[in-house]
Amino acid sequence: MTAPVRIGTCSWADETLTKVWYPPGVRSGEERLRYYTDRFDVVEANSTYYRLPEREMVARWADRTPDGFTMHVKAFGLMTRHPVKVDVLPPDLRDVPTDGRGRVDRPPRDYRAEIFRRFHEALEPLRSEGKLGGILLQFPSYVVYKPHSLEYIEWAQEQLAGDEALIEFRHRSWLDEENRAQVLSWLEERGMTYVMVDAPRTEAKNLVPTVVAATSPTAYVRFHGRNAATWNKRTGSAAERFDYLYSEEELAEWVPPLRELAGEAQNVYAMFNNNGRATLPPAGTLEGVEADGEVVAQAPTNAEMLRDLLAEARVPVGEPLPR
């Protein structure tokens, strides 16, 4: 049996999508999510990285998506050791040491455990409806390969209380030639899902190489774009890092590995995080795109492009779900 490759974007409410991709009459959160689910059968919820989700909001997500839909959820920043401003926390969690920039500073383990507990509880509406995918634990570049990092990730997996851990690294040490085999074996032994990335192909320490592998029944690929010029740009917004429109030729590179993964894994996901906009070049200069001079949202444009490429290669792909 070959698993279908399910394709979606990392967010359905990103600013570019709301300004460029959704039609003018699609304005409310409910309308946008319904429009999205008419086109894709999987999504990543990334707003949960910035604030702890509220159960009532998650219940609305569950209600507004069709049966069979999958929503992966990005872990709140404190869960993956990212800096978080204390004022984004619930009021009863703000009595915690902070640094000079108002960020939570080295919270004790039991404090983080409470964050995990609330995060887990808030996702119950998706979980009970069978729509919760994995929890994306994207670790920052200063979480390097060493015993303390391994111990923390193992502890974090335990706090997920049975939810699937999707592990994305941002430091090369995890996937360099010296450590790669050991890291992938460790993830497999722990039942954690290794997140493959497509990103700029440079030697920057905060860029891991693209290694095609699956360490669990789930194969998961995140497409960040290949904009090497903006990945470590110190000015402008963080969104510039992911400002990139893949060509058909670049996405075609993924057809053979996705075909292989689909034959090995039970679930295969290809998720586009290049949430910027692009003005299409003159017709004929970007394969797979017909318009000329049109402004498009990069992530859904590339998601649809990859779906077409896989379908042409007779690799099964996920389809929008009936309501």
What is the count of structural domains for the chain? 1
Residue 265 is assigned to a structural domain of this protein? yes
- Does the global pTM surpass 0.85? yes
The tokens describing 8, both together, are: 């979606």
Q: What is the pLDDT of residue 1?
A: 73
Residue 169 is assigned to a structural domain of this protein? yes
CATH code for position 86: 3.20.20.410
Residue 173 is assigned to a structural domain of this protein? yes
Burial class of 187 by CB neighbour count within 10 A (0 to 12, 13 to 18, 19+): buried
Find the domain containing 273 and state its range: 5-312
Residue 323 is assigned to a structural domain of this protein? no
Per-residue model confidence as pLDDT tens digits over 238-266: 677 888 999 999 999 999 999 999 999 99
CB 141 within 8 A of CB 170: yes
Residue 199 is assigned to a structural domain of this protein? yes
Residue 234 is assigned to a structural domain of this protein? yes
Residues of the chain with pLDDT under 70: 234-238, 281-293
Burial class of 91 by CB neighbour count within 10 A (0 to 12, 13 to 18, 19+): exposed
Residue 317 is assigned to a structural domain of this protein? no
Query: Across the chain, where does the E strand assignment appear?
Result: 5-10, 42-45, 70-74, 132-138, 164-168, 193-198, 218-223, 267-272, 277-279, 295-297
Distances (CA, A) of 230 to 16, 237, 267, 285: 18, 10, 32, 23
Query: Across 169-303, where does the E strand assignment appear?
Result: 193-198, 218-223, 267-272, 277-279, 295-297
Residue 99 is assigned to a structural domain of this protein? yes
